[in-house]
Chain A
Amino acid sequence: SQTIHQWPATLVQPVGSPLSLECTVEGTSNPNLYWYRQAAGRGLQLLFYSVGIGQISSEVPQNLSASRPQDRQFILSSKKLLLSDSGFYLCAWVKTSGGDEQFFGPGTRLTVL
């Protein structure tokens, strides 16, 4: 069966510090991968998606970046965090063969102080 992992689960970082969040998927190959942010009381905001290794599409301009160094690994990064980067970060995957369900990871709660 397929599983998706995210870590860390919780993170508290000072403003201006770097960020690296990791997402890995097991049990499938060549998935489409997604990073979302969910701010308190707000909906899911799509940040990045990837259809393959090294292929990243950005949905919103910001100080975050994403990378996909391996087929089932998706990384969200920042060089300098802002207060507004606080939120619940969710990674998700979809089968590339016409999948109709998006599977979400457990999420990382980031607080920037």
Chain B
Amino acid sequence: QKEVEQDPGPLSVPEGAIVSLNCTYSNSAFQYFMWYRQYSRKGPELLMYTYSSGNKEDGRFTAQVDKSSKYISLFIRDSQPSDSATYLCGPYGQNFVFGPGTRLSVLP
């Protein structure tokens, strides 16, 4: 079983839609959880991180962690074409572990 699993997409939504991106992980020892955004031909950049179960909100983005089910979610409200990118999730353990990424396209 892979440490982090993520639907690779692609996911296409109209502008203004609410987007839900999800990951599952296998190692219950993970404490930090990260979401990175990667634009085409660029390095990933940290979008959000959380340390515990529950929600964390930052503008249009909400990160949600459910440790009991080992499930990580990222919600994007009022999605914009500039949100079109690949979103990588990952818990931080001894070394960073990433999911394969979900490619999101927000259509104007």
Chain A residues near B (Cβ < 8 Å): 34, 41-44, 46, 49, 59, 88, 90, 92, 94, 100-107, 109
Q: Are A107 and B95 in contact (CB under 8 A)?
A: no
Q: Which residues of B contact A109 (CB under 8 A)?
A: 41
Q: Which residues of A contact B60 (CB under 8 A)?
A: none
With an 8 A cutoff between CB atoms, is B30 at the interface? no
User: Chain B interface residue count: which class?
Assistant: 20 to 34
Q: Which residues of B contact A102 (CB under 8 A)?
A: 34, 46, 96
With an 8 A cutoff between CB atoms, is B98 at the interface? yes
Q: Which residues of A contact B92 (CB under 8 A)?
A: 100
Chain B residues near A (Cβ < 8 Å): 6, 8, 32, 34, 41-46, 49, 88, 92, 95-101
Residue of A with least CB distance to B46 = A101
Q: Are A49 and B95 in contact (CB under 8 A)?
A: yes
Q: Which of A41, A44, A101, A104 has the most CB of B within 10 A?
A: A44
Residue of A with least CB distance to B92 = A100
Q: How far is the CA of A41 from the CA of B45 in the complex (A)?
A: 18
Q: How far is the CA of A49 from the CA of B88 in the complex (A)?
A: 19
Between-chain CB contacts (< 8 Å), 7 pairs: A59-B95, A88-B41, A92-B96, A101-B46, A102-B34, A102-B46, A107-B43
